[in-house]
Chains A and B, each alone.
Chain A
């Protein structure tokens, strides 16, 4: 009741302030009149009565003011006053305001941008209903890692009779060739898109409601091959069908088969794999038509499906885990072959809450490490920016000392002055926050426009949501405190006596404030040194990468990929196609050789591993039973210029049906046949050592190279001949006599002439392909480099400000020195020395800090140690040089002081 009534008063006081004030004044005046009358009645003369009444009441304006102070909303009123006062002050010095806001915008904007990246990758839950009930369900791989896929029969066993789950979905990302069909359809050629093959429960279980249209019906999840339906993503619908609502019911071709569009997924839903945008969804029962040759739905040992379940309300993930442990044990009993890994242990089922499974668990570590690195970097930039602005505010406070001292002397309370200075800081920080958010959105737009050279559609929804806005608001508040606290405290304790005197020329005045400013500059130098050394290490790492021996010659090579299965080629037709393709491409002018491979070395996201068995080799404890491999066409080693150090390359005699041949690399030979000749040895594919598997003879040993990452140590690798190990998708590699980039289109058209409907994707030079493996280091280097330069600029500005201020304070002193016979060079040394001392202190603090911080980077660097002395030395020299520049400008000005003018300077 009192609260309600006070709230009413608050509104009245706010909106009818004039009326309320008049009323109050009338009341107090009436009281005064009464008092006068009372005094007169007691026998005082009118003048005496007025005096006595005034004395007793205490002055009408004072009483009115006292009442005003207790009135509801009085705090809001003073805050509003402070804001107006602060705005006026900032408008009066536009240059200061612009620099401060821009500096803060940089700091806050960088932080907000990185945070929205983190938000999109890790924090934002799946769209759909109650994502906190979702759990990702992984079956361990045969070779051991826990987070593997499951088979369709596994999925059915997980789903049926499981009382702890409210629903379960299975999904599998896959590339598809999308072509339009029917009259009026856009005449766009086939396009390679990524989609998800999903169980019929997909949309309903996730709570994602396609509109227009619908999700999948239970009927469409029963019998293989009967319901050719597809749901499109919002993005694909917009891109290819211009958002036309009549697309529902229309027919499209997926890998050559007609499918009917039944729905469009809502905007912002792009499938279950974060960072990987699915363009369409096809029911699992249609995978035979959509993706010919995909693994059998009845195959118990398949591992292609990812599974996600929804816990019933009230069921904990621990309960579900123990239930799934029991299921794994049952499956191991019932299907011993497919539920035993290569080491003979039962395969395991692992449940991970949705919040931890947004990034695939195996990739989560590096992603989190990168995000932490970026966040640390922007955190440092923010700190430096705040130190910069605090420094500016301190300088400004020095200039305003007299004003503050006067207000203090006139009775303003200290708390009120501090509040006022903090209000000014928070206006600056808020402006900086808003500008920073705009800057962040702009930067993210740029980032989204940048398409990394990867063969899958990488997409993160980087929209600025409430979480980003709340975070930015928090950062803004933090900045307010960081920039406001020191100047406010320093300024609110003015030494009245000195401040009121005209002391601009006095030596040593405001000593504490100057010390504070120096400390801030030292902190800036320290932090920017740390940032710069971090980015310097990544740059060194990139520079070193160019010198790493790849094991092949990447110059003048063109690569592009085809997926024959997408167009329904069976093996015989496929082999024929490959043969003709190589013939045609080799005949092109400027082409010196051409070959095929299932994958190129150093593809960041691709790579095949196979289990092998070698007679006489007992697995060492902890040894990885799977080895990286590629299947390659004729002339592969010649085309890539991979030296064969023993034996021979694959040739005509390794035809289908001929004795199985394999080429291993030197690391492979060293591991499995140490001290012996690898030539003529035999290996079997598959971990089981099944006597039915044909034995392959080692016909050659290739030189070691880099296969997965540039930083890797030599690792075992083996090659199989494409003729004996047919693969329906392959990458064509072509060596040209000169510029490879120019040959891309002629090679592409050679493929098109063979089959105009076959999508050719991922066409690039191998040099560009290699850029992919450098992508993490390049991105880290770019981000840290940009932030490091910003930090350096801010530190230089701060240094300049402090030195210039000190010069202006010491003009008279300098004049005296010159008059007493000091040379201009001495003055130069004096001033530059002051700046360099601060820099030296910053460097002394920064070097050990950087050494500690960069140790955390060692996993992300290659070819360079985290405490690389060259980087540390070079960055220190760079920083000192910039500092020297920043100090020498004011120092030069100081040295040109005319003694007479300086002495007259008050």
Chain B
């Protein structure tokens, strides 16, 4: 059910995925969880409960802003949007992720 990666990797990757998801448009906690599941084609299935700590941490760091709004099914929900600092953060995170991924691929490709 829950992602089974090591917690350290998870934290970095979860933050990256949350930021990327929100870059595609404002969303609420459950929406972000569903979006990640959808985008990773089910590889990651983050529990809504485990997303809230990440969302709040990112908000407290100034990368996200939040406000109350109405959800698709006309219920109240807290919507998160990416701030300018969050956008910059996403760029650097993306770049560093690319470097890591390339490096790991290179190691794995070694014969």
Contact = CB atoms under 8 A, between A and B. Distances in A.
Interface of A: 1-2, 4-6, 9, 24, 27-28, 30-31, 33-35, 37-38, 41, 56-59, 62-63, 66-67, 69-72
B110 to A, nearest CB: 37
B49 A66 contact: yes
B103 interface: no
B78 A67 contact: no
Contacts of A63: 49, 52
Interface string B48-70: 11101100110111110000000
A511 B16 CA distance: 53
B77 A70 contact: no
Nearest to B45: A56
B75 interface: yes
B53 A66 contact: yes
Given A24-B56, A70-B57, 13 more contacts: A9-B59, A27-B77, A27-B78, A30-B77, A31-B29, A31-B30, A37-B73, A58-B47, A58-B50, A62-B49, A66-B49, A66-B52, A66-B53
Given A66-B52, A67-B53, A67-B56, A35 B63 contact: no
A34 B71 contact: yes
Interface of B: 28-30, 47-50, 52-53, 56-57, 59-63, 71, 73, 75-78, 85
A70 B14 CA distance: 15
B48 A5 contact: no
Contacts of A41: 73
Given A31-B28, A31-B30, A58-B47, A6 B52 contact: no
Nearest to B66: A27
Nearest to A35: B30
Contact of A9 (B29, B47, B50, B60): B60
A41 B72 CA distance: 13
Nearest to B72: A34
B56 to A, nearest CB: 5
Give the secondary structure class of A's interface: helix
Contacts of B61: 2, 5-6
Contacts of A4: 62
Contacts of B62: 1-2, 4-6
Contacts, number: 77
14 contacts: A5-B85, A27-B29, A27-B52, A27-B78, A30-B75, A31-B30, A33-B76, A37-B73, A56-B47, A56-B48, A59-B49, A63-B49, A63-B52, A66-B50
Contacts of B56: 24, 67, 70-71
Contacts of B78: 27, 30
A63 B50 CA distance: 8
A57 B73 contact: no
Contacts of A71: 56-57, 60
Contact of A57 (B48, B63, B71, B75): B48
Given A27-B78, A30-B77, A31-B77, A57 B85 contact: no
A30 B49 contact: no
A58 B47 CA distance: 8
A34 B52 CA distance: 15
Contacts of B60: 5-6, 9, 71-72
A67 B52 contact: yes
Nearest to B58: A2
A6 B28 CA distance: 22
Given A1-B62, A1-B85, A70-B56, A34 B49 contact: no
A6 B59 CA distance: 9
A5 B50 CA distance: 23
B47 to A, nearest CB: 6
Contacts of B71: 34
Contacts of A6: 60-62
A663 B57 CA distance: 93
A19 to B, nearest CB: 14
A117 B67 CA distance: 62
Contacts of B73: 34, 37-38, 41
Nearest to A33: B75
A482 B28 CA distance: 51
A2 B63 contact: yes
A57 B77 contact: no
Contacts of B63: 2
A37 B75 CA distance: 9
A69 B49 CA distance: 13
Nearest to A2: B61
Nearest to B71: A34
A1 B52 CA distance: 22
B48 A31 contact: yes
Given A27-B29, A37-B75, A41-B73, A57 B47 contact: yes
Nearest to A12: B60
Contacts of B52: 24, 27-28, 31, 63, 66-67
Contacts of B53: 66-67, 69-70
Given A5-B61, A57-B49, A58-B49, A34 B85 contact: no
Contacts of A70: 53, 56-57
Nearest to B31: A34
Contacts of A37: 73, 75
Nearest to A53: B48
From B50, B62, B71, B85, name the one whose CB has the most chain A CB atoms within 10 angstroms: B62
Given A1-B62, A2-B63, A4-B62, A35 B48 contact: yes
A353 B49 CA distance: 66
Nearest to A64: B52
Contact of B85 (A2, A9, A56): A2
B61, B63, B85 pick with most chain A CB within 10 angstroms: B61
A66 B50 CA distance: 8
B23 to A, nearest CB: 18
A41 to B, nearest CB: 7
A28 B52 CA distance: 8
B70 to A, nearest CB: 11
A236 B75 CA distance: 83
A72 B50 CA distance: 17
A24 B60 CA distance: 13
A394 to B, nearest CB: 37
Nearest to A27: B78
A63 B49 CA distance: 6
Contacts of A1: 62, 85
Contacts of A56: 47-49
B57 A34 contact: no
B75 to A, nearest CB: 5
A28 B55 CA distance: 12
A63 B52 CA distance: 7
A62 B49 CA distance: 9
Given A1-B62, A66-B52, A67-B56, A34 B47 contact: no
B76 A30 contact: yes
A219 to B, nearest CB: 66
Nearest to B61: A2
A197 to B, nearest CB: 67
Contacts of B77: 27, 30-31, 34
A137 to B, nearest CB: 60
Nearest to B77: A30
A34 to B, nearest CB: 5
A260 B62 CA distance: 69
Nearest to B49: A58
A763 B30 CA distance: 94
A41 B73 CA distance: 10
A66 B57 CA distance: 11
A56 B47 CA distance: 7
A5 B78 CA distance: 20
A298 B56 CA distance: 83
Nearest to A32: B48
